[in-house]
Structure 1
């Protein structure tokens, strides 16, 4: 994880004063926690780039901002993330005649842009936020990975665009930028549990949308989407194999993804191990990929309701990993919560990020810069209760007047069966709303979305 930041003049006929060194240093310094290894800045007549580096690939020569090209035709980049298929892209570019001076994926990103323009980003298999200055075209190119894993915030103020991996760096760039929360951003946060880019929780600040490229040129700004997710709309459009075929395909995809992340970093890569299925599978695949002892890290809880130590230690024994763990109490979570808010830069509706922050500190103190996790599996593989809840509600929707079908919700949420009769009636009213919209894509979320909206 690195930090990027910068400033570009928008209407350049109105100003020829470049961003100051002090501005760029202040922005980079605000991101030091993201990139403690090195810092760098670049200044031109209309643009300034800053970078705080966490070195993962090509430790010796991957410093940023990186410059390639002849005088007057340079490309300059400040880049956060990793392009996992950079070796394959590098081979393509060498075949086209490009010459490399480093072994870094950063240089691959730059020369890919030189070869293919903004179409290059669709070729990247990775997670990234990129700011690239094309000196010949006098254009700033901003790009973000397909799913928005890496953040990139933007703010226009005083004929300049400020951009950074975190909002605090934008505020550090100009103390005159207003600090205020956005009612629309807060509304989305309390309805969806997050904002939907380009919205942010700060007034006047937006996020670059995932899978988008934005170009600031002398003749104006343009934005384009380079990738969109596609889902089967009809029964015959989806996967046509058997369950065994689907299992094999999923395992093969996970193996490929894990190998790319384990074998293409120039530092040791560890793995979180919660004791659940997701992180356990990832850790096992990671161990197989490197063929040697794996570093694993776990959270333990003094609160028995949340502690999964037994499962963690069973997996450690199976993996034979070099394991470290941290015990977390409710007091520890409360003490860490303000720091979690500071790093998240948005309201948090759950305390889960606080213990994860403590786990990340354990990893850092062990000298590990990169870990794999099982995060995202519940979203992709429908692991959350809300997905099972939607199946029950769709079953209920076929007979909306049934008194027996909604009782299945008590098996999913046992506390309902222990609730007073009045609370049961309220739960039936809550889960029974919008049963006539059972085929809508947002059906699973509608009860909570409507309740949140009613409070605003």
Structure 2
């Protein structure tokens, strides 16, 4: 796990631009606190920040090999979990290795298979390779998009980086956000390739992007396809368990301390139990909790139960070395924590305490471990969200996570400044993006209309919604130098479960039937029976009161961030008692505070 950046310019001598490439790389020092390096030739400069996980002495980057026709150099982020098997195969093909790192395996894999090396990798990977034999840059991103990678075309080449901040450190990149960028920022659609900043884009998951003197060329090497699922119920459950056993075993490989994130839900509990069964040492677990949350918990539509009792049940069953990270409202609302979270995410997304608590959780874990396994993405894979089972959502002609809250007024209608709201037409943007997404859903001949509907919902979650969560997880963890692995994003599991009929995914009348039955033998009964509960959010009115206080200061100061928002709605929210602050108003406050920090950090030029 690391941060990569670089610059290709076919008209400029980049050996004279070392200060700029160093500056790009330095913006991501948090992603790689252990080492840094650059590799530069006249028309290319590659930068790397290293978080040492595998082969601590031998995994230094950039890494290169000389060939009779020119050098091949690489900077690489992430982990290839099948690198041992690939190394054995490459050795049989005549390759020799100087290190025990997965990085060297990927580089030799490129020598052997070219861009098709992407199809041989199992893992969370993003890399950049300069092929001096043909003067070509190759950018590759893993199938599910677990590791981020951005690029910014220039007149004579391209800039790239693991995060936008690396690209924005180069003077060739304009810090402009236009109407489309604002639409993406406020719509919650996660449009493929959209990076909010004008001129910048994401390398899409499952894609290889090449850059040479003729321009940019995209190649998609993996997509979700519709195929017949021929296994019966017992065989399906057994295969899910077989896959999970293999996936967890692969993702536990590490030369540094590791742990598991445990929320007490089915997903993280399953990973915890499987990891505990495979490790020779005691598994270490961490959970986030809020001060007095269990004692003062009030059930709502999203969360029927607090996490803590279920966390204890799992920790006791597997005999883990467990630690709760308990946060109070003052810490969650600390402006310094918000600034760190917005700095990490690069965008003002307004998730507030959920972002801040995740940042603080990861920061506390990093004091003990460098690698953590997470239950992230199981709901997208197995159909765990409550809205999957809502007939209104199933039939809605919009993204299901948006349809799930359409009983309330859409966030953009009341949040944005009225003139800006009319210009951006967020509902129209969402409709357009939904139509594009729905049109790309694969179809299986002979599938019933209902099964086709549920395939569409699954596809939208796996190609849109999950990318919000993976991006959030990556940014918050890497901001403190913690590598978080996501076993449920293994492409073999994703492909298999995606094609299981909805009737199999819910065969016991509940959500995530396949996962529940595949892991029931290693879980406490309380967790097997627990109803889905999302990532926790504080219910303490003291947090809302602190938000009001901070937003009132923005209003008094005339903060420019408020120019994007509906000031009347903001002021109205300041007049109610903290305990009466609605979810929509709280979200507005979070967005206002995030925007203020973002404007200060990034100083964007808004052009609508």
Q: TM-score range by the shorter chain?
A: 0.7 to 0.9
Change in 2 beyond 3 A, CA 1:42/1:332: same
Q: Tell me by how many angstroms 1:126 deviates.
A: 0.7
| Counterpart for residue 259 of structure 1 | 249
Secondary structure (helix, strand or coil) at the match of 2:166 reads: helix
Q: Tell me by how many angstroms 1:344 deviates.
A: 1.5
Q: Aligned partners of 2:44 and 2:393: how far apart in 1?
A: 54
2:14–2:41 CA contact under 8 A, matched in 1: no
Q: Aligned partners of 2:457 and 2:97: how far apart in 1?
A: 51
Q: Aligned partners of 2:394 and 2:86: how far apart in 1?
A: 46
| Counterpart for residue 284 of structure 1 | 273
Change in 2 beyond 3 A, CA 1:393/1:265: closer
Q: Tell me by how many angstroms 1:324 deviates.
A: 1.8
Q: 1:364 aligns with which of 338, 363, 366?
A: 366
Change in 2 beyond 3 A, CA 1:16/1:395: closer
| Counterpart for residue 405 of structure 1 | none
Q: Aligned partners of 2:365 and 2:308: how far apart in 1?
A: 18
Change in 2 beyond 3 A, CA 1:121/1:394: closer
| Counterpart for residue 333 of structure 1 | 332
**TM-score normalised by L of structure 1:** 0.82
Q: Tell me by how many angstroms 1:21 deviates.
A: 1.4
| Counterpart for residue 433 of structure 1 | none
Q: Aligned partners of 2:395 and 2:62: how far apart in 1?
A: 56
Q: Aligned partners of 1:287 and 1:348: how far apart in 2?
A: 35
Residues 354-402 of structure 1: per-residue CA shift (max 9 Å, x gap): 2111110011112x11100110001111111110114x665999xxxxx
Residues 243-299 of structure 1: per-residue CA shift (max 9 Å, x gap): 22222111111111000011x322222100111111011011111121320111110
- 1:162 partnered with 2:164: no
Residues 212-233 of structure 1: per-residue CA shift (max 9 Å, x gap): 111112333321111111134x
Q: Aligned partners of 1:75 and 1:375: how far apart in 2?
A: 35
| Counterpart for residue 208 of structure 1 | 203
Q: 2:49 aligns with which of 32, 37, 52?
A: 52
Change in 2 beyond 3 A, CA 1:396/1:164: closer
Q: Aligned partners of 1:443 and 1:274: how far apart in 2?
A: 25
Secondary structure (helix, strand or coil) at the match of 1:173 reads: coil
Q: Aligned partners of 2:141 and 2:396: how far apart in 1?
A: 41
Secondary structure (helix, strand or coil) at the match of 2:133 reads: coil
Secondary structure (helix, strand or coil) at the match of 1:181 reads: strand
Change in 2 beyond 3 A, CA 1:284/1:164: same
| Counterpart for residue 429 of structure 1 | none
Q: Aligned partners of 1:271 and 1:138: how far apart in 2?
A: 43
- Structure with the largest fraction of helix: 2
Q: Tell me by how many angstroms 1:329 deviates.
A: 2.6
Kindly report which structure 2 residues correspond to 1:19-98, keeping only aligned pairs within 5 A, or say none: 20-70=17-67, 73-98=70-95
Q: 1:247 aligns with which of 237, 247, 251?
A: 237
Q: Aligned partners of 1:324 and 1:29: how far apart in 2?
A: 33
Relative contact order: is structure 1 or structure 2 higher (C-alpha 8 Å, sep ≥ 6)? Answer: 2
- 1:224 partnered with 2:219: yes
Q: Aligned partners of 1:257 and 1:139: how far apart in 2?
A: 34
**TM-score normalised by L of structure 2:** 0.62
Q: Tell me by how many angstroms 1:346 deviates.
A: 2.4
1:19–1:47 CA contact under 8 A, matched in 2: no
Secondary structure (helix, strand or coil) at the match of 1:190 reads: helix
Q: Aligned partners of 2:248 and 2:24: how far apart in 1?
A: 33
| Counterpart for residue 430 of structure 1 | none
- 1:185 partnered with 2:181: yes
Q: Tell me by how many angstroms 1:156 deviates.
A: 2.4
| Counterpart for residue 146 of structure 2 | 149
Q: Tell me by how many angstroms 1:158 deviates.
A: 5.1
Q: Aligned partners of 2:214 and 2:383: how far apart in 1?
A: 46
2:141–2:204 CA contact under 8 A, matched in 1: yes
Q: Aligned partners of 2:34 and 2:2: how far apart in 1?
A: 9
Q: Tell me by how many angstroms 1:154 deviates.
A: 0.7
Q: Aligned partners of 1:331 and 1:76: how far apart in 2?
A: 47
Q: Aligned partners of 1:319 and 1:387: how far apart in 2?
A: 31
| Counterpart for residue 104 of structure 1 | 101
Q: Aligned partners of 1:266 and 1:38: how far apart in 2?
A: 16
2:157–2:215 CA contact under 8 A, matched in 1: no
Residues 115-155 of structure 1: per-residue CA shift (max 9 Å, x gap): 11111111100111100111121111110000111111111
2:141–2:205 CA contact under 8 A, matched in 1: yes
Q: Aligned partners of 1:184 and 1:177: how far apart in 2?
A: 17
Q: Aligned partners of 1:3 and 1:103: how far apart in 2?
A: 20
Kindly report which structure 2 residues correspond to 1:310-389, keeping only aligned pairs within 5 A, or say none: 310-335=309-334, 336-351=337-352, 352-366=354-368, 368-389=369-390
Q: Tell me by how many angstroms 1:349 deviates.
A: 4.5
Q: Aligned partners of 2:279 and 2:149: how far apart in 1?
A: 32
Kindly report which structure 2 residues correspond to 1:369-448, keeping only aligned pairs within 5 A, or say none: 369-390=370-391, 440=453
- 1:298 partnered with 2:298: no
Q: Tell me by how many angstroms 1:332 deviates.
A: 2.5
Q: Aligned partners of 1:170 and 1:393: how far apart in 2?
A: 39
2:14–2:45 CA contact under 8 A, matched in 1: no
Q: Tell me by how many angstroms 1:96 deviates.
A: 0.7
2:248–2:271 CA contact under 8 A, matched in 1: yes
Moved more, 282-291 or 253-262: 282-291
Q: Tell me by how many angstroms 1:52 deviates.
A: 0.3
Change in 2 beyond 3 A, CA 1:355/1:89: same
Q: Aligned partners of 1:284 and 1:182: how far apart in 2?
A: 47
Q: Tell me by how many angstroms 1:241 deviates.
A: 2.9
Q: Tell me by how many angstroms 1:194 deviates.
A: 4.6
Stretches of structure 2 that go unaligned for 5 or more consecutive residues are 298-302, 398-403, 409-448, 466-565, 567-607
Residues 9-54 of structure 1: per-residue CA shift (max 9 Å, x gap): 1xx2x43454611112111211010010000011101000000000
Residues 82-123 of structure 1: per-residue CA shift (max 9 Å, x gap): 101011111111111111111111111111111111111111
- 1:117 partnered with 2:106: no
| Counterpart for residue 173 of structure 1 | 170
Q: Aligned partners of 2:141 and 2:315: how far apart in 1?
A: 36
